[in-house]
Each structure stands twice: as C-alpha cells, then as structure tokens.
Structure 1
Amino acid sequence: MKGSASISPDLIWTGDINQRPAVQDGFDRSRTVRFYDTTLRDGEQAVGVVFSADAKYEIARALDELGVGRIESGFPRVSEEDTLAVRRILDAGLKSEIWGFARAVKADIDAHIELGTTSVLIEIATSEQKMQAYGFTRESVIARMSDAIRHARTHGMRVNFFPVDATRSDLGFLEQVYKAAIAAGASEVSVVDTIGACAPEAVEFLIGKVASWVGPEVPIHWHGHNDFGLATAAAIAAVRGGATWIQGTINGMGERAGNADICEVALALQCLYNVPVEMDLSKARKVSELVRRAGDYQVDRWKPVVGESLFVRESGAVAAQFHMPDAIEPYSSSIVAAHRGIVLGKKSGLANIELKVKELGLAVPEDKFSVLLAQVKEQSTRTHRLVSDVEFVAMASAC
C-alpha cells in the first residue's frame, strides 16, 4: 500500500458540528480507504471523449503520482490503440496496481492474459432489466460468470467480480451471484450502481448486506454514478457501510452524469469524516488539467477540488476578509495546491483595489482607490467580464 498523505487539522475549518457522533460514528478508521481509478475506461465512455494511447499512458503516470492504488488500464478488445495503451501502462513500472476490465467472456480475459495483465475486473449484468436487454437468464448469468472467473483463475489472475446494475437487482438473486463468484475464485467484489439510482442510505445498507454474504476477508468496492448529484455522498455511505475501495474517475467524468469523482471523495472523507485515505490531493489539480486536455473538455470554474475559481475572490465583502482564509474558505488552499487571489470586476469593493495595488506593487495613493473602483465597475459592467491586471495597471497609471 502506498503511504497516505494526512491533512493537518489546522488546515480544515469546517466547524465543530461535524464532530457530533451522528456524523462520525460507524466508520472503521483502522483501515485506509483506497481508490480504483477507471478514468481510462469508464471515464472515456463520456460522450465525445477519445483518449489516444499516448494520453492514456500519461494519465496513468499522473494517477500513479496522485497515489491511486489501482488503475484500470482499459478494455483491449475495443481497438488496437486500446491494446497498445494497456501494453504501455503494464510496461511502465508504476507503483499503482494495474487492473484490466473484461466482460464475462473468455476472449476478453484472453486479451489481457496475452498482454500480461495479472488482475482483472469481470462484469456481467444481474438486474432483471439488464438481463432482459442482453437476453440472459439468471441461470446463464451464474454459469457465464463462474466460467469466466474460473478461466481467469486458471491463468493465475486475481479477480474482482463486478455485477452490473447490482443496486437494482433482486437481493435474493444478488446474494446467490456473489456467493457463486466467491466459490468460482473471485477474491474481491464490487457493488455497482450502474445508473446512479441508489440513495446514500440504501448504499450503506447494501454494502452491509454484501459484506454479510461474502465474509470479512473479501474486500468490497463501491462503484457509483452521479445521476442525482449524490455520487460523493453515496461513496461516503459506502465507506461507512464497510467498503474499503472506491471506484471512480478524475473530474467525475463518464457516461450520462458521470462517475464518482475520486478526488472529491478523498477530500470529503478526510476533511469531514476524519477517515484516512490513500491519495495526495496536492496533485489533484495537475491530474485534472491533464485529463481535461486529453479529453478536450472543461469543468466548471466552481467545481470542488479542481475548479479554477475556488480560491479566487471578486466580491468586495469577501475580499475584505481575505487576510483570514478560515473566514471565507472551508479548508486551506494548500491542501489542493491552489492559488489564492483577488480579481477585479463588477462586484468588487475598495478591499479588492487595495489588495490588487499591493499585489502588483503599484504606487497609488489611497485617496484614488474609490476612483479606480468606479472605473473597474464601469468597465466590467460594460464588457461583461473581469478587468485584467494589464487593464488595471493602465487605469492606475492614468490616475
């Protein structure tokens, strides 16, 4: 296991209310929560995103630096480029474990065996809706899954059983499937919320159920999606229920509303619930930017952890408190290696002018601040944008 980067309590300013037993009880803090990143496979399923083999290799290296315990290298049968990417990632000598993804199909598993993958996540549908869509029966699901797991185990692979749409599956059948997977040789299991339809309270209940079925020695993963905006909350509930691995992606990218954002989950677990995690959040913004460039997309400026405006202030009322970070922020910007700064715009006040003058080292008399503020507000209102530092220097020079 990689070392986890703990966060000093002095850098977290969330208040005492989170320390109440109702919030903190139920977590096993003797175990470090680890992350299984599926950006290269499930993340790439986001509409319109295509990662090149080179990009996947660079992303894998960045995930390794982030401290991700496991990286899902991809699905080599998708294309030759995916095969190349998996091979390069396997050969990179990363500290992270490299896992493969396969359907319960021998040919999928063989593709990984040929490349040298030693650990594989094997999926098959278990909900009535999904089984009907694929033309499966309950009997055929168990037979296919068991055969696939045994095939992988025969070739020395570790197996994580991944029941698609587990959260909408009949509990009696789900118990049967999990137990059959363990009997066939799976050493780990996932609880999968394929369409993001499981409330956090239900997640905690289901994780507990699965734990009772598979036993205390079998690690449980949670794989959740964000269709109701609850992916992070569901992941927290999964940890409280007994999951020790959280699957997700960088930036929460993925199909529909995306997957759980592993960096958001890591931040919340540490800062709100005092749960140890394996991740260096100071690298999160760098990895986020790399993935965005490779996928040719953007995230909201106000997105948790990685948004560019999280620690930037325009409002005059807030800028007046800028000297006390704990008055205007829930945690220190140093946790995620973000820049704190002041910008100038329509909502600015005299405090913004004062701070910006000091930041830029300008020789502007204090009695000119109100004049500059009026000019800033007028220009920002007229142009519908912020006033740049270059523009502000010109304004100040003309005063």
Structure 2
Amino acid sequence: MSDLYIDPKKYTNKTSFPDPKTIKVYDTTLRDGEQTPGVAYSPEQKYEVTKMLSDTGVHIIDIGFPFVAPSERQALQKIIAGKRNGEIRKDLEILVMCRANKNDVDATLKTLEKVGAEPSEITFLTFTSASDLHIKVKLGPTLLKREGETRFIEDVQWYREANCKMMEEICSYIKSHGVKKIELGTEDASRSDISYLKELIDRSVSKGANRYIFPDTTGSLTPESTRYYARELRKAFPKLAMVSHFH
C-alpha cells in the first residue's frame, strides 16, 4: 500500500503558514453569489445573510453595488442600521463596490448621507482591469472616451497609461470625501504582465488605495503561477494588505 499512497506532507513539508490570527475571511456571497443564475436577494434577505455571516465570525463582507439599483442602496442602509443596533457585529467590515467613475462613488456617498453615516464607516472597492486583453478590448472604449479619442489606438502602452491615470483619479476622488479604506481590484490580474500590475498598484496606492485584491477572474491560475504572482507582489509591496479572490 505504501507504493500506492503518497503522504501529502511530502508536498508541503517546506511550506510555512502565517499565524492564523493574521488571516481574515472575506465573504462575497451578497455580490458574487448573486451572479448565480436565478439568485436575486432582496434588501431584507441581504440583511439576514449579513447577520448570519456576522455570527459566524467573518471579518469582511462585500454587500454589493449601490449604484446599480435602489434595492442595493436599501440593503446598505439596513446593514449600517444593524451595526448600530447591535444585531451585526461592530467590528464587521462592510465593503461596497464602485466602478472607477464618480457616479458610482457619489451614489454610495448619498446613500450613506441619508442615514447619517460617515464615508469612513465602510470600505470602497474600486476596480479596473489589469491584463492587456481586458484593458484594450473590454475597457478600451471607456478609456478612449475618457481621453477624448475618436479613433481606435493600436498601442497597448497607451491603454496601460490611460488605465493608470483613471485609477489615480478615482482613488484621489474617493479619498477626498473622507473614505479611510480604499481597496483596489484588478480584473484578470492572473493573466496580466507582472511589471505593469505592480505599476498599476503602486500608482493607485500613491493616491489613497490601502488594500489590494488579486482576482483570478478566468480561473486560469495553477499552483505554480499562484506562487509566482504571490511572491512577486509581496516582495514589491511588503506592507500592503492583500486579498486573494480565486475562481
């Protein structure tokens, strides 16, 4: 039997793990989970799920996208009220998603204002794309419009620079409204050029981002590539809080 069974420790005997107390659980049930076909939470359901996740000890909850619909804004207001009345843990970090434009940010700020909440009470996740394919093809029309270009540009370096400028501007804008926690998200990071990814993170951090989320949007990572990106990013940003979002 010893020839048929390989002890898993053979593969992990040189692996070191961080102190569990330093690891935080970041739940995206209320946003990513809602992308499941047929799933659509009401504000009341989002509130109940948040209470249950709070009771289990989850540290961070991504509750949704306030700009998208009134129901999303109502859910945010209910959850803030729940923290105040003690039904939801005081130390539970509430996070909302915003695209890299001022309209998304303003919608969230107005939602908070209506219930007398401060921008510093929640975390703003603002996101863009990181791979050349996404930047040029998916995000390209937005970047061209932002820069006043009416023709298609071939050079991917142009899109890279325009993308960095966009994230610098939105991080500065969010910070200027009293937000203390700004998380940077970069779609398709697992297929990005590592040098460009570092530049994008660095320039966003310089304007206020203080946590980074690395998403494997297409589920293309292998253990080897995960190790590569993780080591490169930790070496480049040893003090920056980071989140892993795998598919």
Q: TM-score range by the shorter chain?
A: 0.7 to 0.9
Tell whether the 8 Å contact from 1:178 to 1:213 is kept in structure 2 after alignment: no
Q: Which has the higher contact order (CA 8 A, sep 6+)?
A: 1
For 1:58 and 1:22, locate their aligned partners in 2 and report how far apart those are by CA, in whole Å: 39
Question: What is the identity percentage for the equivalent residue pairs of Structure 1 and Structure 2?
Answer: 29
Cα displacement (A) at 1:30: 6.2
- The SS at the match of 2:138 is helix
- 1:38 equivalent to 2:16? Answer no
- Alignment partner, residue 47 of structure 1: 37
Q: Quick one: which amino acid aligns to residue 80 of structure 2?
A: L
Q: Quick one: which amino acid aligns to residue 207 of structure 1?
A: A
**Scaled by the length of structure 2, what TM-score is found?**
0.79
Pick aligned residue for 2:138 from 126, 133, 138: 133
Moved runs in structure 1, 4+ residues, more than 6 A? none
Cα displacement (A) at 1:31: 4.3
- The SS at the match of 1:27 is coil
Cα displacement (A) at 1:18: 4.8
- The SS at the match of 1:190 is strand
Tell whether the 8 Å contact from 1:161 to 1:181 is kept in structure 2 after alignment: yes
- Alignment partner, residue 56 of structure 1: 46
- Alignment partner, residue 223 of structure 2: 200
**Scaled by the length of structure 1, what TM-score is found?**
0.50
Pick aligned residue for 2:197 from 174, 183, 186: 174
For 1:152 and 1:31, locate their aligned partners in 2 and report how far apart those are by CA, in whole Å: 30
Unaligned 5+ runs, structure 2: 1-5, 113-118, 144-158
- Alignment partner, residue 143 of structure 1: 165
For 1:196 and 1:77, locate their aligned partners in 2 and report how far apart those are by CA, in whole Å: 27
Cα displacement (A) at 1:159: 0.5
Pick aligned residue for 1:72 from 59, 62, 66: 62
With over 3 angstroms needed to count, the CA separation of the structure-2 counterparts of 1:45 and 1:23, relative to structure 1, is farther
Q: Quick one: which amino acid aligns to residue 26 of structure 1?
A: S
Unaligned 5+ runs, structure 1: 1-15, 226-399
Tell whether the 8 Å contact from 1:18 to 1:24 is kept in structure 2 after alignment: no
- 1:82 equivalent to 2:72? Answer yes
Pick aligned residue for 2:243 from 221, 244, 247: 221
Considering only aligned residues, what root-mean-square deviation do their CA atoms show, in Å?
Answer: 1.8
Write out per-residue CA displacement over residues 144-182 of structure 1, whole angstroms, 9 at most, x where no aligned residue.
Answer: 111111111111211011111111111121111011111
For 1:22 and 1:54, locate their aligned partners in 2 and report how far apart those are by CA, in whole Å: 44
For 2:95 and 2:13, locate their aligned partners in 1 and report how far apart those are by CA, in whole Å: 34
For 1:146 and 1:47, locate their aligned partners in 2 and report how far apart those are by CA, in whole Å: 35
